[in-house]
Chain A
Amino acid sequence: MRSRRLLNGYPKMKRLLSSVTDGKGFDILLVSLPLLFLLAFSGLPLLYNVLMSFQEVDIFSLGRLIRPFIGLDNYRELFAAPEFWPIMWNTMLFVVCSIAGQFTLGLALALFFDTGFRGSSFLRGLFLVSWVMPGLVVGAIWNWILSGDFGVLNYLLTSSGLISENIFWRSDVDYSLWAVVLANIWLGTSFNMILLSVGLAGIPKDLYEASELDGANILQRFSTITLPMMRSTIGAVISLGLIFTLQQFDLFAAITSGGPANSSNVAQYWAWELSFRQYDFAKGATVSTLMIITVMIAAVLYVRSTRHEVRI
C-alpha cells in the first residue's frame, strides 16, 4: 500500500515501472541486455583488434590501452613476410576445396535421402554426429586414421591398389593441407546435407510430376526444377560453409599444427600462432583484422541470401 502511494508521488517513476510491466519498456529491457553483452564481448574486441593492428604491442605494453601508433607498419611487415602469400593461398585452397567437397557430397546425400524411404530421416539425422562432436576429437581421430605407417586410410588405399606406397599425410608438405581438408569435408558434409534436405523438402512434389508429364527426364528435372528452386538455399549453404570453414581451427591444432613448414597453415591458425606462440599480438591482430573483413563480406552475402526467408 505504501509503495503504491510512494509511486503515485513520482509519476515519472510510475510510468517507467508500468512501461516495464505493460509496455515497450519490457521489450527494450529484454533486448538491450544481451545486445550490450554482445557489444561488450564481441563488438569492443572487434574494434580493439583493429586498433591493435595499428599499434606496437609487446609483452610490456600488453596491459595498456595506449600504445605507440606505428601506422601501417604491421601490415607492411606482414605483407613482406615470406610466409604471407603461401598462407593466404593455403587459406583459399582450404576454403574452396572444403566447401566444394562438403557441398557436393552433402547435396548427393540429401538427394539420396530425399527419396524418403522408411527410416531415412533417422539415418540422415545420424550423419549429424560428425557435426556435434568436438572439433578436437574429430581432429584426433583423423590424425590417427591418416597416420603414415599405421593409418587405416593408407592401408585401404594401398590394398585397393590406388597408391603404391604410403602417403605421409601429416608430415609431407605436399599432403598436409589435404589431410585437414579431408577431415573438414567429413566434418561439414552432414551439416550441408541437413540444410540442403530442408531446401529439397520445400519443393512441391507436384512440380516434379508436372515436369515428368511434360517429358523431362531425371537430369532435366534436376536442372530445371531442383536447382532453380533451391537457389536461395544453396546460396545460404555455401555462405554458411564459407563462414564455418573460416572458423575451423581445432582440426589444424589436432592434425598438423599448421606444419610442416607452414605447408598446412591458414590465416585463422596463423593469427593465433602469431599471438600465442610468438607473442606478437600486433601481428596476430593484423591478420585477424584482414580475415574478419573477409568473413564480414561472407556474412553480408549470407544475410542477403536468407533475407527473403527472414521476411516470412
Chain B
Amino acid sequence: MSATRHTRLLLFAAILLGAIYLFPLYWMYATALKSGSEIFAYPPTFIPRGLDFGIFAEVWATRDMGRFIWNSLVIATGSMALVALLGTGCAYVLARYRNVWIDIALFLVLMLQVLPASLMITPIFVGFSALGLLDFPRFAVMLAFTAKAMPFFVILVRATFMSIPAELEEAALVDGNSRIGAFALIALPLARNGILVSAILIFMQAFGEFVYSKSMIQDVTLQPASVGLNGFMGPNTVEWNKIMAYATIYVTPILAAFVLLQQRIVSGLTSGALK
C-alpha cells in the first residue's frame, strides 16, 4: 500500500518537474495562440483567452515560410545523406579494427567533432569564396555542416557496429560472400536501426543549423528557416505571438518526430556518446 503511494508520489513529482522544465516550450505554444494585445497583458495569461489558429496561416504566408522550410529541408536532407554515406563506412572500419592507425583516425575524428562552427566559419567562408563554392550557397552549407556533423555520427554508429559480432561477417565470408557482400548483406542490415537513429539526429541538427547558413547564404530566397527566424526577430520587435507562431511551425515536426522515436534516440545517443 505505502509502496504504491510512494511510486505515485514519485510519478507526480516527476510530472511536476517535467512541467516546470518544459514550461518554455508551453510558453511558445501559448504565446503563439494569443492575440497581439493579449501577449502584453499584465499579469500575463497562462492560458490563452481565445484560440486563434489563423495566426499560423498568416505567418506562413507573410513570412514566406514555405520557402524557408523548403530550404531547411534541402540542407538537412543533403547533409544527412552525405553524412550517412560517408560516415557509415568510416564508423564500420573504426569499429572492426584495433591498431595504432585506427586510434589515430579515431582521435582525429573526436578532435574535429569539437571545433565550434562559429570559429570554423571564418576560414571556411574565406576558403569557399576563393574556390567559388559560395555561388552554390546551400551546397556550401551542406559541405561545411557535413564536416561538422560527421564525427558525431561516426561515434554513434561505431558503437552500433561494435555491438555486432565480427563472427557473423566471418561466417558470411565462409558462406560465400565477398568482403563487400558481407558488409552490405550482414553488417549493414544489422546496424540499420543505429544508422537510422543517428541519421535522424543529424537531420534534426541540420534542420536547425544557423551559423553556416547565416554567414554563407546571402540570397534570402535560399536561406533556411533558422535565418528567417533570426531576421524576424528585430531588436525592438513586438510581434511575439507571430514569432512564436513561426517557431511553432518550425519545431513542431521535429518535436513530434522526437517524441515518436524518443526511446530509440535516447538509447542510441547514450550507447554512443560515452563509449
Contacts and interface: CB of A to CB of B under 8 A. Distances in A.
Q: Do A and B touch, yes or no (CB under 8 Å, in the complex)? A: yes
Nearest to B124: A45
Nearest to A249: B118
Contacts of A198: 270, 274
Given A46-B115, A135-B210, A27 B42 contact: no
Given A35-B105, A145-B24, A134 B207 contact: yes
Interface in A142-198: 142-145, 147, 149-150, 152, 155, 159, 186, 189-190, 194-195, 197-198
Contact of B114 (A41, A150, A302): A302
Contacts, number: 301
Contacts of B22: 126-127, 129-130
Contacts of B47: none
A122 B143 CA distance: 35
A291 interface: yes
Interface stretch (A8-16, A221-229, A293-301): A293-301
A299 B247 contact: no
B269 interface: yes
Interface string B63-96: 0000000000000000000000011011011101
A149 B238 CA distance: 12
A253 B210 contact: yes
A195 B250 contact: no
B10 A115 contact: yes
B194 to A, nearest CB: 16
Interface string A276-290: 100001001101100
Contact of A132 (B14, B93, B204): B204
Contact of A52 (B87, B109, B123, B178): B123
A236 B274 contact: yes
B116 interface: yes
B198 to A, nearest CB: 13
A35 B21 CA distance: 40
B144 to A, nearest CB: 6
Nearest to B111: A299
A42 B154 CA distance: 15
A49 interface: yes
16 contacts: A21-B178, A23-B179, A35-B90, A41-B124, A44-B127, A112-B14, A128-B262, A133-B251, A141-B28, A141-B244, A186-B21, A233-B274, A247-B118, A272-B121, A276-B125, A295-B119
Given A27-B93, A45-B124, A123-B14, 18 more contacts: A31-B89, A31-B93, A49-B123, A117-B7, A133-B255, A134-B210, A137-B251, A141-B24, A150-B39, A155-B43, A159-B43, A253-B214, A272-B121, A275-B125, A281-B122, A295-B116, A303-B107, A312-B275
Closest 4 CB pairs of A and B: A134-B208, A30-B89, A41-B147, A34-B90
